[in-house]
Amino acid sequence: MLYISVPLGKLVRRVSRLRGGGSALPGLVVEKIDPGFMQRTLATLPHGVAVVSGTNGKTTTTKMVVELLESQGLKVFTNRTGSNFTRGVAAALLGEVDWRGRLTADVAVLELDEAHAVHFVNRVPPRYSLLLNVLRDQLDRFGEIDKTAQLLQHIAAKTTGTVVLNREDPRVARIADTLTGQDVQYFGLDDSLLSTFPNDDDMRAAPGSPAPAALPHKPPADVVLRKVGPDTADFEYDGATVTTAMKLRGVYNIFNAAAALTLARSICGGGAATADHATLLTALSQVEPAFGRGESLTVDGQPLDLVLVKNPSGFRLGLKSFPAGGYATMIAINDNYADGRDMSWLWDVEFDSLREGGVDQLTGSRAYDMALRLQYDDVRIGAVQPDITPALAAFIRDAKGKPKRIFCTYTAMLAIRRELSKITTVEVVS
Amino acid sequence: MSPDTQDAQGSKGTIRVLQLYPRDMNIYGDWGNALVLKQRIGWHGYTPELLEYNVGDDFPDGVDLIVGGGGQDSGQLVIQDDLQSRAGVLTELAEDGAPMLVICGLYQLFGRFFKTRSGSVIPGIGILDVETHGTEERLIGNVKVATAEFGEVLGYENHSGQTTLGDGVRPLGTVAKGTGNNSSDGQEGARYKNIVASYLHGSLLPKNPAIADFLIRTAAERKFGAFVPGSPDDGYAVLAREHAARRPR
Ligand SMILES: [Zn+2]
């Protein structure tokens, strides 16, 4: 089996590529004929497997960790999110291994969707895990927030080496109490920045009502984000604060940079041991946002920002991180399966910050739900057009000469990128 | 509106809306219901006063309308003792005809009991003659309900408790798409006196302004003897309903 599964899988991969098919089929084939392929291959990595999970920011954070590790000279295997996680990883591995099944990488950094987490970590216990946050996300698929916290806890429990936790998210930080054998590291936020991270628990709490129970004593964090400037950030680690330039935008992306830095430091030997901090920081300063996570394109000589919003906390963070002033704004809300069908979450976001400039264009299959939401927040609405193609054309035409911003759900973003690629250069993501 | 129903500020009077346990029972956009009541009370020419009641608070006087939402299992456990201690005042208000909207978790706890999957029983306050049993199955998706009172009601359900109605209540309506109270009888929600109980999030009230206006009208009539409606612009609500009704489960 061992000797035919990889060549066969690679063959299927080649054929399905020629036919323009997806990546899951070759993964399926190799999984079927050689179920141990993934574990066996990943087990050969000298630095083991690191997984990144949590509700918001996995993609950008995974990308950052990969680039940080590569700056230290490590060869990194990583995954792109796909429809079936295990199969997707198996398929990606097939593309990387040689014909005899050997993977020439030092470490694997995998973005782990909560839906696939348990299945994966039961089969491949990670050496490192980075747990970002537990926020209201895709509740229609996973049930409840507490359940998501349990999933992350399960990932932590299966981790054999270091667990990196968000000190500022009580549901994540408290996972430490349940761990016995693992080394625990935290990434943290300066108190002055806490207010830019609304917690779901106090989302609707009245002014002056008690905050949700955070950790009684904040444990020291390996890396703390101290300050965010227009294009810089201050990180504190090893007792000193350093300022670095940042291409990433939005405070929550930069907080995830602290998370990535903590994990990279753990993998590279921890503390000041072996990591080369000058190159780490240079790599961090050059990380570009992942696909759709606050990326900026140019249309008619003006910037056009795409901000992916897929849950209330993400939308609220997006509104805070990308202030409306001076921008023409469009919102695109779809309710396809990948977006989540439930529109309730729009009511957990406050849109007051858009009141001054209004919203110029609404689109997507739930454009009128969004219009209704804005009406109840007294936000002026320009035009509503559920069909994305004419809506985007009208938005670009009517906002000529102004910087533009589009808040969009996942499938709306895919559609918008498709349209934009006809008029400007858009990174092609398969 | 006639001059004698207006106070000095041109308002037809104040309507006090109490949110029940917004800290622990407020999920899947339940805040939207409170926001819609607040705004529509204003659009009808009355003055809204939005109050909150959380565990351990004093129960406010002069409440005209009550709205409560869903929660996680943990939220239900946090409020259950406090809710029992407020059973008296809530029952009194309900029996006296105060309008109330209870969604999902508080719908269940306004009933007689919630029996969890593991067999433990969370007592309700028994205002509604309903009982709920936890199940393994999670009922999730878009819902359309045919009702006599409010026309077609649209929303989104997400619950694993299944509720059956006793003789003391009537259903809110019959499910045309989705599951509703339970996976067997095709009914959704419950009606008793001026209480509207439902599993539907969405949020419920924005796309079902008829229910919002029923609650507001009832509050105004109870307090002022009459309701003089304004004319809210429901253009977006009508279109949002049309589009929502066509979406898959
Ligand atoms: Zn519910």
Average pLDDT per block of 10 residues along chain B, 249 residues long: 52 96 83 96 97 95 94 78 96 98 95 91 96 92 97 94 96 97 96 98 96 98 97 97 93
Give the 3-state secondary structure of residue A360.
Answer: strand
**Closest residue, chain A, to B28 (C-alpha):** A344
Q: What is the mean pLDDT of chain A?
A: 82
Q: Coil, strand or helix: which one is A89?
A: helix
Q: Do B207 and A335 lie within an 8 Å CB cutoff?
A: no
Ligand 1 centroid from CA A145, angstroms: 13
Q: Please state, as a whole number, how many other Cβ atoms lie within 10 Å of the Cβ of residue A276.
A: 13
* Mean pLDDT score of chain B: 93
Cβ–Cβ below 8 Å for A376 and B248: no
- Chain B residues close to A143, C-beta within 8 Å: 138, 158, 160
Of B28, B36, B207, nearest to A342 by CB-CB distance is B28
Gap between the Cα atoms of A285 and A292, Å rounded: 19
Q: In angstroms, how far is CA A215 from the centroid of its own chain?
A: 25
What pLDDT does residue A33 have? 67
Given B104, B133, B159, B243, the catalytic residue: B104
Helix or strand holding residue A113 (H, E): none
**What does the alpha-carbon distance between residue A377 and residue A226 come to, in Å, rounded to a whole number?**
33
- Cβ of A427: how many Cβ atoms within 10 Å? 11
Residue A184 above 60 pLDDT?
yes
Q: How confident is the model over A85-97, as a mean pLDDT? A: 75
Per DSSP, A132 falls in state -
CA dihedral of B128, B134, B137, B143, whole degrees rounded to 10: 10
State the distance from the centre of ligand 1 to the C-alpha of B11, rounded, in angstroms: 35
Q: How close, in Å, is residue A371 to chain B by CA atoms?
A: 6
pLDDT for the residue A135: 72
Residue range A162-188: mean pLDDT, rounded: 93
pLDDT confidence band for A260 (50 / 70 / 90): very high
| pLDDT tens sequence across A11-35 | 666 666 555 445 556 666 666 667 7
Please compute, for residue A137, the number of CA atoms within 13 A of its CA located in the half-sphere on the CB side: 24
Confidence of residue A210 (pLDDT cuts 50, 70, 90): very low
- Residue B141: its pLDDT value, please? 94
Average pLDDT over every residue of A392-401 = 94
Three-state SS for A308? strand
Q: What percent of chain A has pLDDT over 70?
A: 78
Interface probe, candidates B236, B242, B246, chain A, greatest A C-beta count within 10 A: B236
Say yes or no for a CB contact (<8 Å) between B158 and A146. Answer: no
Instruction: Tell me how far apart the 2 most distant CA atoms of chain A are, in Å.
Output: 66
Q: Which residues of A touch B52 (CB under 8 A)?
A: 206, 209
Question: Which residues of chain B have a CB within 8 Å of the CB of A349?
Answer: none
- Cβ of A140 within 8 Å of Cβ of B156? The answer is yes
Give the ipTM. 0.94
**Which residue out of A331, A346, A369, A379 would a mutagenesis test of the B interface target, given it has the greatest number of B Cβ atoms within 10 Å?**
A369
Alpha carbons within 13 angstroms on the beta-carbon side of residue A15 total 10
Cβ-defined contact of B39 to A203 (cutoff 8 Å): no
- For testing contact with chain A, the best of B243, B246, B249 (most A CBs within 10 A): B243
Nearest by Cα to B236 from A376, A309, A359: A376
Interface of B with A (CB under 8 A): 22-23, 26-32, 35-36, 39, 52, 54, 72-74, 138, 140-142, 156, 158, 160, 201-203, 206-207, 233, 236-237, 239-240, 242-244, 247-249
Q: Residues in chain A whose beta carbon is closer than 8 A to a beta carbon of chain B?
A: 136, 139-141, 143-146, 203-206, 209, 335, 341-348, 365-369, 371-373, 375-377, 384, 386
Indicate yes or no: CB of B52 within 8 angstroms of CB of A206: yes
Residue B122, beta-bridge partner list: B114
Mutant choice from A335, A336, A376 vs B, greatest count of B C-beta within 10 A:
A376
The pLDDT, as a whole number, for residue A334 is 97
Amino acid of residue B64: D
Among B133, B159, B201, B243, the one annotated catalytic: B201
Q: How far is the C-alpha of A241 from the C-alpha of A233, rounded, in Å?
A: 10
Would the pTM count as exceeding 0.80? no
pLDDT tens track for B89-107: 999 999 999 999 999 999 9
- One-letter amino acid identity for B154? L
B104 as an active site residue: the answer is yes
Chain A residue with the nearest C-alpha to that of B36: A376
Residue B42: the pLDDT is: 97
Sheet with A381-385, side-by-side order of all strands: A293-299, A302-308, A404-408, A328-332, A359-363, A381-385
Q: Measure CA B119 to chain center.
A: 27
pLDDT in tens, A63-81: 999 999 999 999 999 886 5
Q: What is the CA radius of gyration of chain A?
A: 22
- Residue bearing the bigger pLDDT, A50 or A29: A50
Minimum distance, in Å, between the CA of residue A394 and any CA atom of chain B = 20
Contacts of A379 (CB under 8 A, 6+ apart): A351, A352, A354, A355, A358, A359
Q: Which two tokens stand for residue B200?
A: 């539907």
| Residues with a beta carbon under 5 angstroms from ion ligand 1 | B 70, 104, 158-159
Contact B15, B48 (CB under 8 A): yes
The pLDDT-based confidence of A211 (bands split at 50, 70, 90) is: very low
Task: Determine whether B133 is an active site residue.
Answer: no
Residue given tokens 């499910």 in the structure block: B175
